[in-house]
A and B are shown apart, each in its own frame.
Chain A
Amino acid sequence: MSRIIILLIILSTVTAQAQEPDSAVVERSSLWRATEQAAWINPAIHKDAFRQSRTEISVSLSQRNESKPFTPELGDGHTLPSLEVNTFLRLSERTSVWGSAAYMNGTVRNIKWNSTSDYEKLKPYILADTIGGDTKKEGYYFAGAYATELNKFALGAELLFSAEHEYRDRDPRMRGITTDLTMRAGAAREIARHKLGLSLEGNIYKQTNNVDFYNELGVSTEYQMTGLGTYYARFSGDKRRLYFNGGGLSIAASALPVSGNGLYADILLRQRRYHRVLADYNSMPLTDIYDEHIAANVGWKRSANSRTALFLHAEHTRRSGDERIGGKSEVNSYPTIGKLTMYKSRFTDLHAGAIYGRKTWNTQLNLGYVSQEEQYAYPKRELSAAHLFALAKGQIFLQPGKATTLRIDAQAAFYANIDKKIDMPFADLSIPITDYVNHKYDFTKAGITSFGAGIRADHKLKNPKYAVFAELNAATDISAAHASRFLLNISLGAAF
C-alpha cells in the first residue's frame, strides 16, 4: 500500500511539472466522470457531458480467451474486429448533438447450450443443443441525439439502433437476426442549485432464430430451454424456427449539483419483456420472460485542487418466466390454455465507493456484496451464490511531449464467495444436463481475482485540430473453478 502511495506522489509530481494533458481526452475518460455517468441516460443531461467537441474514428480488435468457458452459452472466446465513429459536438452553449456508427464482424468460439443470439437478454428461454460450435457475428450500430435549452428547460432526444446477424456454417447451423431500437427523451431544469432530470426510454426488440442441418445422416435435438437445465419437451426436437419479440420502458431521474460540489443522486427503473414464439403451429407462443431492474446511486462529491467523492450504489434485477400451456392440437395449431410462472431469478449488487484524485490522476475503491439466485418451480431446482468484493482502480494522465497525452489505467478486483446453494433432482437428469448444471454452479459460486491495465496515447498533429491515438487494454480473470479468462482490446484511431 505504501509503495502505491509513493508511486502516486512521484507520478503526481511529474505531472504537476509537465504541461497540462489534452483536456478533451481527460474529460472523456477520467474516472471522476463515474459520479455522473449514470445520469447521462437522460439526453438533456448528456448534453453537457463534455465541454469540448470531438469526433473519433477508430478500428478496434476485441479478443477474449477462456481456458474453460465461464458461461458456455457465450462461448469460450471471441475475436471481434470493429470500425467505429463517435462524435460529440457542442453547437453552442445551449445545444449539443452526438452520435455514433459502428460495424463489427468477427467470430465467437465454442458456444455450447445456446443456438440463439442475445443470450443475456433472453436467458433462460433460448433454443439450445449439446453440440454448439463457433459462430460468425456481424453487427451494425447507429445512434444519434440532439439536446438544447428552451427557456429554463433542457430538452433532449436520442435514438439508438442495432442490427446483428449471427450464424454458423456447419451443423447445427444456427442463425439469429436481431434488431434493437431504443428511443429516449428527457428534460432537465436547474432547481435549488441542482440540475434535476427526468427521462423516458422505449425499446423494441425482434429476433428471427432458426437451426438447420445439412447432414443427411441425422440431426441433433434442439431443446426449448426453460431454465436450470429444464426444457419444454413437447416442442423440443425438430421445432427449430423461432421468433422473439419484446421490448419495454425505462424511467430515469437524477439530481446533479450545478457547481459540481455537493450531493448527487440518480435512479433508473427498467422493465423489459421478451416473448418466444414458434414459427410452426400458426405462430404458437411458448414462453415469456419479464425483466425488472432498478438501480440507484446516492453520493457526495467535492472538486477543488483535489477531488473526493463518496457514494452508495444499489442495484436489483428480477426476472420471472412464464411457460405457456399448449392445449389440444386443432388443425395444426395449439391453443394456449393457461400459463405457469416456473422460472425466477434475482441479481443484487450493493456497494459503497470512494474516488479520490486530482486533475491528472484518480483512484477508486469499491467494497460491496453481489448475489444471484435462480429457481425453477417444479421439479424444484435452485442455484444461488453470494460474494463480497473489493475493486480498486487507479488512473493517471501524463504529458511526455508537447503534443502527446498518455493515460495509464490499472485495476484489481477480488470476489470472495460467502454463500452457495444447489438443489437439483440429479437422479432424473441426463448426463449432459447434469454436466451443464454442475458447470454452471461451479462458475456461479467460484471466487474471482481480476487484474487489468490499459494505456492510451493521444498525439496531436501539426494542425492541433487533428490527433491520432492508440489504446491497449488487457485484463485477466482467474476463477476459483480452475479457469482463467484473458481479455484484450486494441484501438487505433484519429480524432478531430
Chain B
Amino acid sequence: MAAIMCMLSACHKEEDDIFAFATLAITTDVAENIERVQAQAVFTNINSRKVTTTADFNGNTVTVELLRGPYLISIEGVFSYHDNSGSVVMHQFRAQTDYAEIMDKSQNLITLKAILLD
C-alpha cells in the first residue's frame, strides 16, 4: 500500500546532505603566488544570517565546512610573498563578495581578488 501511495503522489526525497566544503582562495595582481595569509574570513549565510568565521589559512586558501546555500563572504588581514629580489613583502588587504553559491555537495572553490589597503 505504501508503494501505491508513492506511485500516486510521488514520494518525498529528503535532502539530508546539508553541508558542503568551501575553499576560499585569495589572489592579487602584485604577486603570482601569495605565500601566507593572516586574516579572518567571515561567511554569512544569506538565508539564515548565520555567521561562520575562520582564520585557518594554508598558503592563500582556507577551507571550511558550511551549510549549503548562498553566502556573503568578507575577509580582511595581511598577506605576504617573496618578490623577485627574495625579500618578503607584506600588504594589508580586504576582499568581499556579496553573493557566492556554496551548493556543490563535495567541493566549492571561491576566488577573491585582494584589494590592497596600504
Contacts and interface: CB of A to CB of B under 8 A. Distances in A.
Given A232-B48, A234-B47, A267-B1, A338 B9 contact: no
Interface stretch (B64-72, B74-82, B110-118): B64-72
Contacts of B99: 328
Q: Is the interface of B mostly helix, strand, loop or mixed?
A: loop
B103 A325 contact: yes
A271 interface: yes
B14 interface: yes
Contact of B18 (A234, A248, A342): A342
Q: How large is the interface on A (under 10, 10 to 19, 20 to 34, 35 or more residues)?
A: 20 to 34
B108 to A, nearest CB: 12
Contacts, number: 68
A293 to B, nearest CB: 11
Interface in A115-146: none
Contacts of B18: 340-342, 377-378
A234 B46 contact: yes
A267 B67 CA distance: 40
A379 interface: yes
Contacts of A273: 9, 12
Nearest to B99: A328
Q: Is the interface of A mostly helix, strand, loop or mixed?
A: strand
A234 B48 contact: yes
Nearest to A268: B1
Contact of A271 (B5, B50, B67, B69): B5
Nearest to B103: A338
Contact of A326 (B2, B15, B70): B70
A340 B67 contact: yes
B101 A327 contact: yes
Interface string B31-69: 000000000000000111110000000000000000111
A320 B70 contact: no
Q: Tell me which of B50, B70, B99 has the highest count of chain A C-beta atoms within 10 A of its own C-beta.
A: B70
B12 to A, nearest CB: 4
B101 A337 contact: yes
A226 to B, nearest CB: 9
A290 interface: yes
B30 to A, nearest CB: 30
B29 interface: no
Contacts of B8: 249
B96 to A, nearest CB: 15
Nearest to A236: B49
B1 A325 contact: no
B4 interface: yes
B9 A249 contact: yes
A232 B70 CA distance: 13
Contacts of B16: 341, 377
A196 B50 CA distance: 55
Contact of A233 (B5, B9, B19, B47): B47
Contact of A251 (B1, B14, B46, B101): B1
Contacts of A269: 1-2, 5
B1 A337 contact: no
A337 B104 CA distance: 11
A185 B105 CA distance: 44
A322 B15 contact: yes
Contacts of B12: 273, 290, 292, 320
Contacts of A386: none
Q: 3 closest pairs, A vs B, by CB?
A: A233-B49, A341-B14, A290-B12
Interface of B: 1-2, 4-5, 8-9, 12, 14-16, 18-19, 46-50, 67-70, 99, 101, 103
17 contacts: A232-B48, A251-B1, A251-B4, A269-B1, A292-B12, A323-B47, A325-B103, A327-B101, A328-B99, A337-B70, A337-B101, A338-B68, A340-B15, A340-B18, A341-B15, A378-B18, A378-B67
Given A269-B2, A341-B16, 12 more contacts: A249-B5, A249-B8, A251-B1, A273-B9, A325-B69, A326-B46, A328-B99, A337-B103, A338-B68, A340-B15, A340-B67, A340-B69
